[in-house]
Copies of this chain bind each other. A is one copy, B any other.
Amino acid sequence: MFVAINYIECREDYRDRFEELFRSRAGAIDKMPGFVRMQVLRPIKGDTPYLVVSEWDSEKSFQDWTKSPAFGDGHFRGFADLKAAKERGEEPPMKSQFRVYEVITR
């Protein structure tokens, strides 16, 4: 079992929009081979990042998803927000970093 976590720092004024993007997601990732489940985690205290956690049967399934049309489709609105902010000369509304993990035990 394999887990990818996208650590996403959100600008304060972008948090509602960020959460809305996930609440209204089309769910293309759910149909990818090897997908197990995902969760979006909001930090209860402090300014730690949001975590977008996806679980897969293997690292290969995750990597295949990142190269698939579903990846671009799933991130289309977020990527458009980033592009628009850049065109307005603003700071990006969010910054993300993927880290990957192996499940060693339950």
A residues with a Cβ closer than 8 A to B are 3, 5, 19, 22-23, 25, 37-46, 48, 51, 59, 99-106
Contact = CB atoms under 8 A, between A and B. Distances in A.
Contacts of A39: 3, 103, 105-106
Task: Report whether over half of chain A's contact residues are helix, strand or loop; otherwise say mixed.
Answer: strand
Given A3-B41, A40-B106, 12 more contacts: A5-B51, A22-B105, A23-B104, A38-B106, A39-B106, A40-B103, A41-B104, A42-B103, A43-B100, A44-B101, A44-B102, A45-B100
B19 A101 contact: no
A6 to B, nearest CB: 13
A106 B24 CA distance: 10
A41 B101 contact: yes
